[in-house]
Amino acid sequence: MEHKGTVKLETERLILRRHEITDAEIMFKNWVTEEKVTKFLTWQPHKNADETRQLLNEWIKSYEKADYYFWTIELRSTHELVGDISAVNVDEATESIELGYGIGSRWWGKGITAEAGRALVKFFFEEVKAKRVYAKHASKNPNSGKVMQKIGMKKDGVIRQSWKCNQGIVDAVYYSILKDEYEGD
């Protein structure tokens, strides 16, 4: 793969950009404190903005790595930050990249995460030269699977009791899209 790092990406409604330390307060307000958001994720809601700032400092340092991909999702119309999306796993051996995302519940059902995901699929296939982009969700979170379908992914299957999230050990439902299935814009 030809790693590019977290570069700014834009869609019709979104700006995907690197996190900045000044994002801590709005992240704390808009999504990282919501139990609804973290219910099926692997991290707990943040207790205060200092916790968010500490995490941001770690992420910002990681931007130096060419194979580190982590964007905040900004609405183009209002410049409000509503969530984030990232490569949670980059596998050089299989030339595959796993997506992960979280978005504030006020923006659920508006197609924002799918729009951001499609931009990442395009970037990973066209720029990074990945062969496969995939994601997984807890089986009791089917709405995340709907997002994956809107991104263009196909269901690969379920691996029982294979993933640990805030609900405990759960069945993981995998979706993916392959480079030769990707049609681009």
pLDDT tens digits along 28-48: 999 899 989 888 888 888 999
* Residue partners of 33: CB distance under 8 A and separation at least 6: 45, 46
Rg over CA atoms, the chain: 16
164 found inside a domain: no
pLDDT digit string (tens) for 126-180? 999 999 999 999 999 999 999 999 999 999 999 999 999 988 999 999 999 999 9
Domain ranges, residue 64:
9-134
120 found inside a domain: yes
b/e per residue 63-102 (b: at least 16 CB within 10 A): eeeeebbbbbbbeeeeeebbbbbbbeebeeeeebbbbbbb
Phi, psi of 56, rounded to the nearest 5 degrees: -60, -40
* pTM metric for this prediction: 0.93
55 found inside a domain: yes
Residue 34 belongs to domain with CATH number: 3.40.630.30
18 found inside a domain: yes
What is the rounded distance in angstroms from the CA atom of residue 43 to the CA atom of residue 87? Answer: 16
Total domains in the fold of the chain: 1
